[in-house]
A and B are shown apart, each in its own frame.
Chain A
């Protein structure tokens, strides 16, 4: 079924001597609107190592999807512009290569799965045609060979009677099955990195669990790295080795899942964790939400963008935006007050 089993390169805990698969350096992507420039991604840097699962979490408008689109060079232009930064994939800067070279990276090097399986599949083409297309483009498979491989892929993602299903159109499949097809297409050319952008958000919880387990199992079998983008803190806790928390275009906290969930050290991370009703804890009378709303991206506050909603705000926060700094092991936080914030967690968490 799986033709080339790739060796697992490393575990996430050991510092590596192999370089990361993907290195994003100071990436900035903006949208030019009649009202002004919106800095959707405002200087983010992170790595994805071989075989690891990285989570990118944040609320709507924080820039997590635009980050993924920028890596794939799929930001609609106009109005979007990737202004600066580097996206090094296996050492090659994807922002510097030609469109043609980029096309061979998409699908073969990096696969991507989007939220809406209905709108990412072409409604007038059969499932078979849509799976064989990347096989032809990237692997040069055609005819019977491509069809065999497509049937194999459908089976791999758990669609029974795969031969016959190749002739189906997207509307003949359920939402969960469509997302399975998207995973089959995403993994068809055995990319080294799979980006899943809110891939299970539109699905029911029991189907969501099926799809996530499938994605996690397949990527670990194939040794594929996984970048999960979601607003769901639970999904990241279950599946990601490390995570980045984004707010207003920047990474505010990053670390291993244990570090960030058990010892959150940015006020926004703590606010997020206290906002969700939690099944893993005794019932609380009231939630403790973050006050206020996400700032207008056209009119970000001076200094730290989270300042207007922050309980730990000081004078310093108004002057300049704090930069991401290491606080322990692999955990980094962009907050002047991170020591005080981190110390307060015992009261609010656990």
Chain B
């Protein structure tokens, strides 16, 4: 394994992967259920929270899949299950053709090198007692990716430049960085071990808009340069549209609609997607005043006792009687566009 983080190395690596299979990550019928236990000495399982309830998606090399949904929809749990931080109850997660479900922690270690993670909170996800250089260099040490001390230092300073920070900052502690700079550190750490997939869990949500735009541009540059695939989790649909090639919308642990980004935003088919899109105010007063908006009733139902049939039926503006009787499956309603709604019509 070469350690020079050049674009050509990555291109070679990704070419060989492409010949094996076109899909980098393939998730099938993934379920994560958390048991609820009662009792003091003898604990019984009385119920379970179906945080992720049978989701499937693919990510190809260099592609971004946006996973959107409101709090409690299961998007973060799904991401953790992909990297086996939450052990899925059932289903399959194949990464570069290798099945990850059921792998031991030690067998997961080489896989984790290839999947980087960036978290929401740039304050909570960096160790305040480590110097920035050590934080970024840690993956190199853990996975043995530096040949010598000189090589290690060279790689760390090159990572600093890649994310737009000065290598001279490597001696500083996280509290000496601004929020935007910390998120750059988080990105540098995530790409240090040259992964082929980055999981970005609300990675830009906590940032001010001017800084958020800088980080989004950085991520797009890195994707192009290294042919990185992204699993981009966010609740902000306008950010997801900007960065994603494909989008999956989650509600109560299920994917309710998935489509190419362009189609989903131009022609949403599921009533939940429609409501989500209409709920987002855009910075254009004329557009805002003329726009139809769908205000949903009520709150997200408790995942402890989801409604029978379609999970969205309690808030759905077009729900019919059959919606509370039948669980809708994802149906292909247009090329590359699937929605789980009994009432959504197909588009020619």
Contact = CB atoms under 8 A, between A and B. Distances in A.
Contact of B275 (A206, A213, A290): A206
A272 B208 CA distance: 10
For A258, A271, A287, the residue with the greatest tally of chain B CB atoms inside 10 Å of its CB is A287
Nearest to A284: B242
Contact of B217 (A205, A209, A286): A286
Interface in B283-338: 283-288, 293, 295-296, 299-300, 315
Contact of B299 (A59, A207, A234): A207
Interface residues of A, number: 47
A75 B234 CA distance: 34
For A238, A284, A291, the residue with the greatest tally of chain B CB atoms inside 10 Å of its CB is A238
Interface string B254-285: 00000001100100000000011111111111
Interface in B208-224: 208-214, 216-217, 220
B239 to A, nearest CB: 5
B283 A278 contact: yes
A286 B216 CA distance: 9
Contact of A275 (B213, B220, B280, B284): B213
A280 B282 contact: yes
B210 A174 contact: no
A60 interface: yes
A177 B300 CA distance: 12
Interface string B228-248: 000000010111011000000
A158 to B, nearest CB: 9
Contacts of A273: 283
Nearest to B275: A206
A262 interface: yes
Nearest to B215: A289
A340 B139 CA distance: 49
A210 interface: yes
Interface string A210-226: 10110000000000000
Contact of A176 (B181, B212, B279, B299): B299
A177 B298 CA distance: 9
A274 B181 CA distance: 21
A337 B295 CA distance: 42
A90 interface: no
A233 interface: yes
B71 interface: yes
Given A275-B213, A277-B242, A283-B262, A205 B279 contact: yes
Interface in A287-310: 287-291, 293-294
Given A237-B284, A287-B216, A293 B276 contact: no
B70 interface: yes
Given A206-B296, A208-B279, A278-B283, A289 B210 contact: yes
A145 to B, nearest CB: 31
Contacts, number: 131
A210 B294 CA distance: 10
A125 interface: no
B220 A286 contact: yes
A273 B283 CA distance: 7
Interface string B168-204: 0000000000101100000000000000000000000
Contacts of B71: 204
B262 A276 contact: no
Given A59-B208, A174-B299, A213-B295, A289 B282 contact: no
A202 B70 CA distance: 11
Interface in A33-92: 59-60
For B241, B275, B299, the residue with the greatest tally of chain A CB atoms inside 10 Å of its CB is B299
A264 to B, nearest CB: 10
Contact of A258 (B238, B265, B286): B286
Contacts of A239: 281
Given A59-B210, A208-B279, A234-B280, A258 B285 contact: yes
A238 B276 contact: no
Given A257-B285, A261-B284, A279 B299 contact: no
Nearest to B73: A204
A287 B211 CA distance: 11
A293 B287 CA distance: 30
B285 A177 contact: no
Contacts of B284: 237, 261-262, 278, 280
A232 interface: yes
A132 to B, nearest CB: 25
Contacts of B281: 209, 212, 232, 234-235, 237-239
B219 to A, nearest CB: 11
Given A205-B70, A271-B210, A293-B211, A234 B282 contact: yes
A266 interface: no
For B178, B220, B279, the residue with the greatest tally of chain A CB atoms inside 10 Å of its CB is B279
A275 B242 contact: no
Listed from nearest, the 10 A-B pairs whose CB atoms lie closest are A234-B281, A289-B213, A277-B242, A204-B70, A233-B283, A275-B213, A209-B279, A59-B208, A290-B210, A287-B213
Given A206-B296, A274-B213, A276-B238, 18 more contacts: A59-B210, A205-B279, A207-B299, A208-B279, A210-B295, A210-B296, A234-B288, A235-B281, A237-B284, A275-B209, A276-B212, A277-B239, A277-B242, A278-B282, A279-B238, A283-B262, A290-B213, A293-B181
17 contacts: A204-B300, A209-B281, A210-B296, A213-B295, A231-B208, A231-B209, A234-B280, A234-B282, A237-B285, A261-B284, A272-B209, A275-B210, A279-B282, A283-B262, A287-B216, A289-B213, A294-B178
